[in-house]
Amino acid sequence: MANTPRGLFVSLFNNLKNSLKFRKSVLKSSTSLIGEDPFGNKYFEIPADPSRGKRRPVRWYTALNTPEVPTMQKPQTDGFDSELPAEWESWLRNRRDAAPTNEEVLRSLQMSEMKKINAAKLEEERVAQLKLEGISDAGAEPVPQDHERPFYPKRSDYELIPGEGEESKRGDRWKDFQNPYYKKDNS
């Protein structure tokens, strides 16, 4: 009589504990490394198992700066803002079945770099054309057209974005989103 369960809660707890032990062993055995991207992120998958009620595969990635430590000791959000190629992101969200190839990812990254270069050239041509016409583009506010309502007034003593006045402490907040190929001419 010493090994009989004490009650409903004890038997529920034991069943839960046993189910988690099984899950850990299944996760370790069926997890496979699918690929890696040029940024150093690694992508993993546990295939779908309809016999256990899993219709979709489980997919995730680890960023280059994500530590390989259990989540109880480290925050799970480390590396959440790492750069992901669009192809891998669509694979992670189950929008595509097959994982992207390295050639596909590199071709996409090359195309985006080419678009940035072309955009920088077009912007330089536009600025040169405006200078020839004698129009200054620096800090000009767009003028509303006839059918538009006037823009909301901007006051010099108020911030447009909260915390914007502290830029000297933080640096340029938009530096990561600027075109690296466009060199702004301050003349």
Residue 20 within any structural domain of the chain = no
Residues 119 and 41 in one domain: no
Residues 128 and 186 in one domain: yes
Residues 75 and 109 in one domain: no
Residues 57 and 78 in one domain: yes
Residues 46 and 63 in one domain: yes
Structural domain tally of the chain? 2
Domain boundary among 46, 77, 100: 100
Residue 24 within any structural domain of the chain = no
Cα–Cα distance between 186 and 170 in angstroms, integer?
23
Residue 59 within any structural domain of the chain = yes
Residues 82 and 107 in one domain: no
Mean pLDDT of 169-181: 73
Of the given ranges (64-73, 122-131, 157-166), which has the lowest mean pLDDT? Answer: 64-73
- Domain that includes residue 62, residue range: 31-100
Residues 130 and 107 in one domain: yes
- For the CA atoms of 85, 88, 89, 93, the dihedral, rounded to the nearest 10 degrees, stands at 170
Cα–Cα distance between 61 and 92 in angstroms, integer?
8
Domain boundary among 100, 126, 149: 100
Residue 179 within any structural domain of the chain = yes
Residue 46 within any structural domain of the chain = yes
Q: Please write the tens of the pLDDT for every residue from 104-160.
A: 999 999 999 999 999 999 999 988 888 888 877 665 666 777 787 777 777 778 877
Of the given ranges (37-46, 98-107, 132-141), which has the lowest mean pLDDT? Answer: 132-141
Exposed/middle/buried for 32, CB within 10 Å: 0-12, 13-18, 19+? exposed
Residue 154 within any structural domain of the chain = no
More confident residue, 132 or 69: 132
Residues 65 and 105 in one domain: no
